[in-house]
Chains A and B, each alone.
Chain A
Amino acid sequence: MSKLLIGKLSDIDVRGSRTVRVKETEIALFRLEDGSVLAIENRCPHKGGLLSEGMVCGTVVHCPLHDWKVDLHSGLVKDPDDGCVTTFATEIDPDNGAIYVVI
């Protein structure tokens, strides 16, 4: 387990996303309306669609390729499909807005 400094809150638009590569893994970071930042592996379990490019509704991201719905908290795919995406714990420093991801 290691903790990585990814960037600052202002790097990501509200309801937007950015990606970061850590070794072989591409991680998608989503900044939600409530101020939280959630991180998941940037790959839909269906056909590998880039989840960072999907539409975020609440805490669910819709894969841009075939509209699979992935819960950003649990990484679980919603019905009627099923599958799972790796999630990563995040921390935000309230003082300077720095975003950390634990891998």
Chain B
Amino acid sequence: MTVPKKLVLIGNGMAGVRAIEHLLKLAPDTYEITIFGAEPHPNYNRIMLSTVLAGSTELKDIVINDWDWYKDNHITLHTNQTIKKIDTQRKVVISESGMEAPYDEVVIATGSKPFMLPIPGADKEGVIAFRDIQDCEKMFSAAKSYKKAAVIGAGLLGLEAARGLLNLGMEVTVIHKHPYIMERQLDEAASLMLRKELEAQGMKFLLSKHSASITGRGRVKELQFTDGSHLATDLIVMAVGIRPNVDLARSSGIDYNNGILVDDFMNTNMAHVSALGECVEHRGVAYGLVAPLYEQGAVLAKRLAGVETAGYAGSVTSTKLKVSGVDVFSAGRFIETEGSRALRIQDDMAGTYKKIVIRGGKLIGAVLFGDTADGASLFASIKSGESIEGREKELLLGISNDLLGKSGGSASRLENMPDDEIVCGCNGVTKGAIGDAVLNKGCHTFGELKACTKASASCGGCKADIEGLLHLFAGDAVGESAKEGICGCTSLSRDEIVEQIQSMRLMTIKEVMHVLDWNNKEGCSKCRPSLNYYLGMLFPEDYVDEKESRFTNERYHANIQKDGTYSVVPRIYGGVTTPADLIKIASVAEKFNVPLVKFTGGQRLDLFGVKKEDLPKMWEELEMASGHAYGKTLRTVKTCVGNTFCRFGTQDAMAMGIKMEKAFERLNAPAKFKLAVSGCPRNCAEATIKDLGVVAIDGAWEIHVGGNAGVKVRACDLLTTVKTEDEVMEWTGAYLQYYRETAQWNERTAHWIDRVGLDTVKKALEKQEDRLALVERVQKTLSLTTDPWKEIVDNDELRKNFEPIAGPLPV
């Protein structure tokens, strides 16, 4: 066994410890870890300090990793130890009290220091910052003996401090040098709304004021301003900003500017010395928000674990905050400048405001006040740089064009609906049951309603009606929906998850759940299959499919029926078979006493009522792939007879269909997908209600996409018209791969196209080089697929799972 290397982390804060957590998951035994913290506490959530000050939580509630965590992970933790120097020659770190610790790798994560205005009197008693638990304690004790408090700085931290001091019963005045508050996060309109709200809560403001000096004998008495005015106060909290803490770099000969200088892999200029968090400067930027620090931590952890990783490329940040109970959000460049235009909507009654800033057809910034539910999706649009042309109104109003264009009356329709009418057909939920849940069971959000009644919990086709009823019954009491993630186990959206998987190269479902902080560590039947799909889609060569995270049908490769039996659908390419194959299917059906044989909607034969233990034997005797008639994969390619026999047919639809089915069989996708090929515009294969349908016209092929004949019927849109069979294959492959890469789990192409827009799909496939790149990726994935039935037939260890355990023995 190799001796673990020594890793020393200097700084027991959020950024450093998060990197360690990540490292432990990637390479648990590689390092012997020692952590030095200057504070007496284990690692706590500094962002939540204001809640401690507000009195709603205690220190123990905001501890991220308690003492046991360090013990359980064999980490040596030294608290109350400030490191004063790293001796890079001897490879040891030295603390102020003289303690030494050797290292092979050392990580500096000393965070930042509050910036104290260098004005006369700033060293007097009663002048403090708002940065750690100790500062909170000073505020608690000041509130016991004194009345008046002043906060310098009306940024988030200042306002949180002020709110906390109000809670402690002090009179609070906030001083700000700028004419409006929180100018870094808000535009003037939103800032004004916030100030009104805070004034209503009792906060006083002195704006456009510059502090000159602090007077008082021993303890602060008065704050003097440059304009000659002054303010009597007993406590001054300075919240004017933070500075990266570079003391240690300075004393150890490590390069720094505003922060400690690091490259994309968090290396400093000194070998084996890394740094991350608020103490560093990366590409000229020092971050003070948590998300970028976690991204840095992920890169550092991977490097230390020896896992290949792309470098950290900097972060686009957004701010979503709750200031004294008011939600505010901003992202990107939200102040309009020349060349950009802003759309805004303001409702003074409801206390909400929304502004979006657009440049060159793209969203570049946004401000939300009062209602920040759209923050995440706006931020995603900003980051993706996608065109939002034509959707501006939709983004501003938060309603889709469909709804805008729809004639009114949906509310009155719901009002007039009788109580016993079923709204959710899948789960048999009536309008009355929804009303009962809202009025009597306190369900005031869509999520609560879904959890309580199961309405819209299956196919989701009734979502709009359920939301309408929620508004009808709850009126103004409709709660702000908590941000809904892909399932109840996480608040992250599909795009956020996929992005994190890619950027951190998370390779297993478990790792994703741990690193992305699933609130249910075991996941559920929604997130596990989706993560399994995303990982397989992103890393087709490296990811090992987790069959335990697949639904029954895909685990046993047959379709479970309501009585627990299965059905078997032999693959019949293009719906074209031979007498010999039919005889074989018939004789197998007879031999295994199959009670029902039926043609499926997709022109295949379905053998129903098969006992699970008979499945492998049937597959063995059939010697045919058992078509994936159930999985989230290519189902069938339906065909008409084409020009082979039909007097109208213009092209060989059967050959085209067979070719397509052979090319794309076994391809996993976010949802099932069905193809069809019609030989002429009479469209006997009903190709224009398929996920992709090909319709032959004289001398060419039309490719139609995004159709569905299921829950909500949707006719296809014409994607393109091509001349040759090869082009049909190229477009189909590219379209399917683009769908695989961008759709949400369980999202059929019809919903996907409605969501992303036909134009987006057209644009993505417009250039041949883009199509060929997509085709290459789909081919790579296809080349790695195998026939699951053959695998089971040939492998006793897999076969055993189809059999019950032989009779039990009494003991």
Contact with A along B608-638 (1 / 0, CB 8 A): 0000100000000000000000000000000
Nearest residue, chain B, Cβ from A61: B525
A55 B454 Cβ-Cβ under 8 A: no
Chain A neighbourhood of B524, CB < 8 A: 57, 62
Nearest residue, chain B, Cβ from A43: B564
With A50-B564, A53-B552, A79-B451 already in contact, the answer to whether A7 and B805 are too (CB < 8 A) is yes
Contact with A along B540-579 (1 / 0, CB 8 A): 0000000011111001100010111000000000000000
Contact of A60 among B522, B552, B801, B807 (CB under 8 A): B522
Chain A neighbourhood of B178, CB < 8 A: none
Chain A neighbourhood of B560, CB < 8 A: 50, 53, 64-65
Within 8 A of A (CB), among B482-528: 520-525, 528
A6 in the interface, Cβ–Cβ < 8 Å?
yes
23 sampled A-B residue pairs with Cβ under 8 A: A3-B810, A3-B811, A5-B808, A5-B809, A5-B811, A11-B805, A16-B548, A16-B801, A18-B805, A20-B804, A21-B804, A50-B564, A53-B560, A55-B528, A55-B529, A55-B551, A57-B525, A59-B522, A64-B551, A65-B560, A79-B451, A80-B452, A80-B453
Nearest residue, chain A, Cβ from B526: A67
Q: Tell me, in angstroms, the Cα distance from A55 to B588 when the chains sit together.
A: 30
Q: Tell me, in angstroms, the Cα distance from A49 to B521 when the chains sit together.
A: 26
B800 in the interface, Cβ–Cβ < 8 Å?
yes
- In this complex, the member of B529, B549, B556, B805 whose beta carbon has the largest number of chain A beta carbons within 10 angstroms is B805
**Distance (Å) between the CB of A8 and the closest chain B CB?**
10
Chain B neighbourhood of A13, CB < 8 A: 801
**Distance (Å) between the CB of A100 and the closest chain B CB?**
7
A56 B564 Cβ-Cβ under 8 A: no
Chain A neighbourhood of B521, CB < 8 A: 58
Nearest residue, chain A, Cβ from B527: A57
Chain A neighbourhood of B550, CB < 8 A: 55
With A53-B556, A55-B551, A79-B451 already in contact, the answer to whether A4 and B562 are too (CB < 8 A) is no
Chain B neighbourhood of A80, CB < 8 A: 451-454
Within 8 A of A (CB), among B755-811: 800-801, 804-811
**Distance (Å) between the CB of A62 and the closest chain B CB?**
4
A53 B564 Cβ-Cβ under 8 A: yes
**Distance (Å) between the CB of A64 and the closest chain B CB?**
4
**Distance (Å) between the CB of B487 and the closest chain A CB?**
11
Within 8 A of B (CB), among A9-32: 11, 13, 15-16, 18-22, 26, 29
Q: Tell me, in angstroms, the Cα distance from A47 to B560 when the chains sit together.
A: 14
A96 in the interface, Cβ–Cβ < 8 Å?
no
Chain A neighbourhood of B806, CB < 8 A: 7
Chain B neighbourhood of A11, CB < 8 A: 800, 805
**Distance (Å) between the CB of A20 and the closest chain B CB?**
4
Q: Tell me, in angstroms, the Cα distance from A15 to B564 when the chains sit together.
A: 20
With A47-B562, A50-B564, A53-B552 already in contact, the answer to whether A18 and B804 are too (CB < 8 A) is yes
B522 A58 Cβ-Cβ under 8 A: yes
Chain A neighbourhood of B451, CB < 8 A: 79-80
Nearest residue, chain B, Cβ from A33: B522
**Distance (Å) between the CB of B613 and the closest chain A CB?**
10
Using CB atoms and an 8 Å cutoff, list the residues of chain B in contact with chain A. 451-454, 520-525, 528-529, 548-552, 555-556, 560, 562-564, 612, 800-801, 804-811
**Distance (Å) between the CB of A6 and the closest chain B CB?**
5
B805 A55 Cβ-Cβ under 8 A: no
- In this complex, the member of A18, A53, A100 whose beta carbon has the largest number of chain B beta carbons within 10 angstroms is A53
A45 in the interface, Cβ–Cβ < 8 Å?
no
Nearest residue, chain B, Cβ from A15: B548
Q: Tell me, in angstroms, the Cα distance from A49 to B564 when the chains sit together.
A: 6
Q: Tell me, in angstroms, the Cα distance from A11 to B451 when the chains sit together.
A: 37
Contact of A20 among B522, B551, B808 (CB under 8 A): B808
Chain B neighbourhood of A7, CB < 8 A: 805-806
Q: Tell me, in angstroms, the Cα distance from A67 to B459 when the chains sit together.
A: 13
Contact of A4 among B525, B549, B612, B811 (CB under 8 A): B811
A4 B548 Cβ-Cβ under 8 A: no
B528 A20 Cβ-Cβ under 8 A: no
A40 in the interface, Cβ–Cβ < 8 Å?
no
Chain A neighbourhood of B810, CB < 8 A: 2-5
**Distance (Å) between the CB of A101 and the closest chain B CB?**
7
Q: Tell me, in angstroms, the Cα distance from A57 to B522 when the chains sit together.
A: 5
Contact of B805 among A19, A50, A58, A79 (CB under 8 A): A19
B549 A55 Cβ-Cβ under 8 A: yes
Chain B neighbourhood of A60, CB < 8 A: 522
Chain B neighbourhood of A62, CB < 8 A: 524-525
Q: Tell me, in angstroms, the Cα distance from A50 to B523 when the chains sit together.
A: 21
**Distance (Å) between the CB of B782 and the closest chain A CB?**
26
A-B pairs with the 6 shortest C-beta distances? A58-B522, A64-B552, A4-B808, A62-B525, A50-B564, A15-B548
**Distance (Å) between the CB of A53 and the closest chain B CB?**
4
A101 B551 Cβ-Cβ under 8 A: no
Contact of A55 among B548, B808, B811 (CB under 8 A): B548
Q: Tell me, in angstroms, the Cα distance from A6 to B808 when the chains sit together.
A: 5
Chain A neighbourhood of B528, CB < 8 A: 55, 57
Q: Tell me, in angstroms, the Cα distance from A91 to B554 when the chains sit together.
A: 31
Q: Tell me, in angstroms, the Cα distance from A100 to B528 when the chains sit together.
A: 31
Q: Tell me, in angstroms, the Cα distance from A81 to B801 when the chains sit together.
A: 29
B805 A65 Cβ-Cβ under 8 A: no
Q: Tell me, in angstroms, the Cα distance from A5 to B564 when the chains sit together.
A: 26
Given contacts A19-B804, A55-B529, 9 further A-B contacts (CB under 8 A): A4-B810, A5-B808, A21-B804, A53-B555, A57-B520, A57-B524, A58-B522, A64-B552, A80-B454
- In this complex, the member of B520, B528, B552 whose beta carbon has the largest number of chain A beta carbons within 10 angstroms is B552
A4 B551 Cβ-Cβ under 8 A: no
Q: Tell me, in angstroms, the Cα distance from A26 to B552 when the chains sit together.
A: 18
**Distance (Å) between the CB of B244 and the closest chain A CB?**
42
Nearest residue, chain A, Cβ from B802: A18
Chain A neighbourhood of B523, CB < 8 A: 57-58
Q: Tell me, in angstroms, the Cα distance from A101 to B552 when the chains sit together.
A: 25
Chain A neighbourhood of B529, CB < 8 A: 55
**Distance (Å) between the CB of B200 and the closest chain A CB?**
39
Q: Tell me, in angstroms, the Cα distance from A27 to B801 when the chains sit together.
A: 15
Chain B neighbourhood of A21, CB < 8 A: 804, 807
Q: Tell me, in angstroms, the Cα distance from A97 to B452 when the chains sit together.
A: 42
**Distance (Å) between the CB of A15 and the closest chain B CB?**
4
Chain A neighbourhood of B562, CB < 8 A: 47, 49, 65
Chain A neighbourhood of B520, CB < 8 A: 57-58
Q: Tell me, in angstroms, the Cα distance from A20 to B803 when the chains sit together.
A: 9
Nearest residue, chain B, Cβ from A18: B805
**Distance (Å) between the CB of A43 and the closest chain B CB?**
9
B805 A20 Cβ-Cβ under 8 A: yes
Chain B neighbourhood of A64, CB < 8 A: 551-552, 560
